[in-house]
Amino acid sequence: MPGDECPAAGAKRPASFSPENTPGEHHMLLPSEAALSAPSGEAPEQKRTKLKHKGKRKLYQVRKSNADGTVLDAIGLLLRTKWKEVNNTASETEVPKTFGWTAEDKQGEASFCRAPPIPAKLTGDDISECEFDVYVHEISERGHGIATREDREELEKLVLSKDRPWAFAVPFVLKGEKVRVRSVRHEWGYTQADLLSVIDKSPMRVDAPCEYFGRCSGCQLQHIGHQDQLKFKREMVKRAFSSAHPIFANLTVSKVIQSPLEFGYRTKLTPHFDIRKDTPPEQVSIGFNAAGQRRVLDIEDCMIGTDAVRRGMLMARQDTKAKMAEYKRGATLLIRETNIPKDDPNGDVSKIPAADLTKDFVLDPKRWVTDVVKDIKFRFPASSFFQNNASILPAFTGYVREELQKWSRLLSDSADEGELQYLIDAYCGSGLFGITCHSGFKRVMGIEISTESISCANNNAKMNGIDNCDFVLGDATKIFEKVDISPKHTAVIIDPPRKGSSPEFLDQLIAYGPRVIVYIACGVPAQARDIAYMQGKGAIIVDGKMPDSALSPPGAVYRIASVQPFDLFPQTYHVENIVTLVREEVTNE
């Protein structure tokens, strides 16, 4: 194809190459683009098998991984959508299986087996110097552009003939753009590539304000305006559910509720450093993972941190560099925002009104910090988990509270069972949702596997003068074994880790049959998978249709009342999502 270049071994490197941008390491090479550092900078781990060879580095073969799955999902979505467009059909069953994963093809094994062969142009001794012009047709869940060497018309012709094009995953690009890329390595069914230049620019593209964007792994979306980021995240929620099960294809997803702060929102940062034998102490990089690379990028400032956290990061870097000779290995630093009394920094926070507190930071993971959510104070160790965007927490927790109160009123008016009286907070942590949603309930019961978190939750309830909350130690997968509360008057909040809930927990939840379930998720694909699991158990009604299976007890069947995403982490692909499930009364007739 005109303009393609694949230099032979020993050829002169492109002008944009620099020692920092080593071939085989995935990032953006645009020198004019800015970039932003990330909260954690932790890139998904990939399992690689390096081919044994002598001489110059050859390609890596990468096994299937969760990280690959998001790209393969997007490739499959692109090809299936194109097939239905050119054939004027809405039927998923007619789409060729070679076009990628479907909801029924859970593991995608057939798709992997039918992946097209790696093009000959990409199998030379030094694949990292193959350059191509490609067209971006889709964006993956994690913000990678899905591109092919075929433009829209050529792609449609290829799809119509049931041929599957070879795809490229390119970071920091937008749908509809034509870009110049350099291949990095071959994954299972596609090629990772670096962005060299944007030839045809999308009207959605904006200049990223951070100098590290594109080199730091923490932010993926700074090149997109904030309102377009919200649209992208809403689409990702829709995609997660439709991918989990075809029955969710027309699920209504509300517009994403945006963070009051687009930058300067993050209350916790964890920069880190590695010490190598050949690196002098004064040259050790302290920061976050470089995009697509296994090295640390030196980051002096992070724009998504709050003012207090950014001050703390400056101090932490200075202190660490001064003591670098004392470290034998690398380490992870912690900077966390806290609230302290304005007049007496060492005063008792529990006795000071929230209005009389001011922002500060701590660097010691063992220190306790205080966060405030609408005049409710929460104390917890700096190293423990707590939501890291304080600016949106009033709206976030307020939405959950309003959902519970709304359905308590509606159910009381429409049924003879009365209003909700009890709240169970599974995976309760330090008590964020149980405490902020306690009003109107006779009793709130929280459960958590961490002894430290349970102690924090009970102390937080006491500190705020809340006497209807009781937090107990236990495994959330066995929570309902000892519950002595009637499910007819009970709501359950679940806020599991990113991996989602276990089948054992979901089975218990269905069997218990609470009146309302509020499922809060930081990992939307796992949330969609869990709700699809419930649907498979006969516990979910979609569009007024009863599930085919009837495995759940009478009464424990739910309809999806609302799906509400929240943008807790602007400039990244992450999105939080809240799904409200309301039990429908059914009989086995």
Q: Inform me whether the pLDDT recorded for 393 exceeds 50.
A: yes
Please name the residues in contact with 18: beta carbons below 8 A apart, sequence gap of 6 or more.
none
Active-site residue (options: 219, 428, 456, 522): 522
End-to-end CA distance of the chain: 65
**Domain holding 100: CATH number?**
2.40.50.140
Q: What is the pLDDT of residues 295-326, one digit of tens each?
A: 999 999 999 999 999 999 999 999 999 999 88
Q: What residues form DSSP beta bridges with 147?
A: 136, 168
Classify burial at 360, counting beta carbons within 10 Å of its beta carbon; exposed 0-12, middle 13-18, buried 19 or more. middle
Among residues 196, 220, 244, the one where a domain terminates is 220
Report which DSSP code applies to 561.
Answer: E
Report which DSSP code applies to 503.
Answer: H
pLDDT band at 159, cuts 50/70/90?
confident
pLDDT band at 109, cuts 50/70/90?
very low
Q: Which of 200-209, 278-287, 467-476 is most confident?
A: 200-209
Listed range (190-199, 411-420, 470-479, 518-527) with the worst mean pLDDT? 411-420
Same domain, 309 and 445: no
Q: Which residue has the higher pLDDT, 501 or 48?
A: 501
Q: How would you list the strands of the sheet with 576-584, edge to edge? A: 469-473, 443-448, 422-426, 490-494, 516-521, 576-584, 557-566, 540-541
Structure token pair of residue 349: 């926070």
Question: For the residues of 200-246, what is the DSSP string, one character each?
Answer: E--TTB---S-BTBTTBSS-S-TTB-HHHHHHHHHHHHHHHHHHH-G
pLDDT at 75: 82
Q: Catalytic: 210?
A: no
* CA 334 to chain CA mean position, Å: 21
Same domain, 375 and 402: no
* CA 54 to chain CA mean position, Å: 40
pLDDT at 545: 67
pLDDT at 158: 81
Contact 224, 217 (CB under 8 A): no
Longest dimension (CA), the chain: 81
Q: Inform me whether the pLDDT recorded for 147 exceeds 90.
A: yes
Among residues 189, 220, 251, the one where a domain terminates is 220
Give the alpha-carbon dihedral of 333, 335, 336, 337, to 10 degrees. 180
553: amino acid identity, one letter: P
Alpha-carbon distance of 546 to 125, in angstroms, equals 57
Active-site residue (options: 104, 403, 576, 584): 576
Q: For the chain, how many residues are written?
A: 589
Same domain, 205 and 324: no
Q: Which residues of 493-504 are buried (b: 16+ CB within 10 A; e: fewer)?
A: bbbbeeebbeee
pLDDT at 69: 56
Same domain, 350 and 411: no
Q: How many CB atoms lie within 10 A of CB 73?
A: 22
**Domain membership flag for residue 40:** no
Alpha-carbon distance of 464 to 4, in angstroms, equals 65
The arithmetic mean of pLDDT across residues 345-356, rounded, is 86
* CA 173 to chain CA mean position, Å: 19
pLDDT band at 152, cuts 50/70/90?
confident
The arithmetic mean of pLDDT across residues 16-20, rounded, is 31
**Domain membership flag for residue 448:** yes
**Domain membership flag for residue 336:** yes
Q: How many CB atoms lie within 10 A of CB 587?
A: 6
**Domain membership flag for residue 353:** yes
Report which DSSP code applies to 542.
Answer: B
Closest CA to 122 of 181, 174, 79: 181
Structure token pair of residue 100: 């990628």
Alpha-carbon distance of 24 to 439, in angstroms, equals 55
Among residues 350, 381, 412, the one where a domain terminates is 381
Mean pLDDT of the chain: 82
pLDDT at 92: 63
Domain total of the chain: 3
**Domain membership flag for residue 37:** no
* 52 three-class SS: coil
Q: Inform me whether the pLDDT recorded for 133 exceeds 70.
A: yes
pLDDT at 50: 35
Contact 244, 560 (CB under 8 A): no
Same domain, 196 and 280: no
Structure token pair of residue 28: 């953006």
Q: Inform me whether the pLDDT recorded for 548 exceeds 80.
A: no
Q: What residues form DSSP beta bridges with 423?
A: 444, 491
**Domain membership flag for residue 15:** no
pLDDT band at 122, cuts 50/70/90?
low
Q: How many CB atoms lie within 10 A of CB 359?
A: 16
Same domain, 482 and 406: yes
Same domain, 471 and 370: no
Structure token pair of residue 91: 């039927």
109: amino acid identity, one letter: E
**Domain holding 417: CATH number?**
3.40.50.150
Q: What residues form DSSP beta bridges with 60?
A: 50
Would strands 469-473 and 422-426 be described as parallel, antiparallel, or unpaired? Answer: unpaired
Q: Inform me whether the pLDDT recorded for 403 exceeds 80.
A: yes
Same domain, 320 and 399: no
pLDDT at 415: 59
Q: Catalytic: 576?
A: yes
* 41 conformational bin, left if phi > 0, alpha if psi -120 to 50, beta if neither: left
pTM for the whole thing? 0.84
Same domain, 421 and 492: yes
Q: Inform me whether the pLDDT recorded for 565 exceeds 90.
A: yes
**Domain membership flag for residue 538:** yes
Domain carrying residue 442: 393-584
Same domain, 54 and 132: yes
* 530 three-class SS: helix
**Domain holding 316: CATH number?**
2.40.50
Give the alpha-carbon dihedral of 55, 61, 62, 68, to 10 degrees. 120
Same domain, 56 and 82: yes
Alpha-carbon distance of 247 to 226, in angstroms, equals 31
Closest CA to 274 of 319, 231, 330: 330
**Domain membership flag for residue 230:** no
Q: Inform me whether the pLDDT recorded for 3 exceeds 90.
A: no
pLDDT at 163: 78
Q: Which residue has the higher pLDDT, 21 or 383?
A: 383
* 527 three-class SS: helix
Same domain, 475 and 540: yes
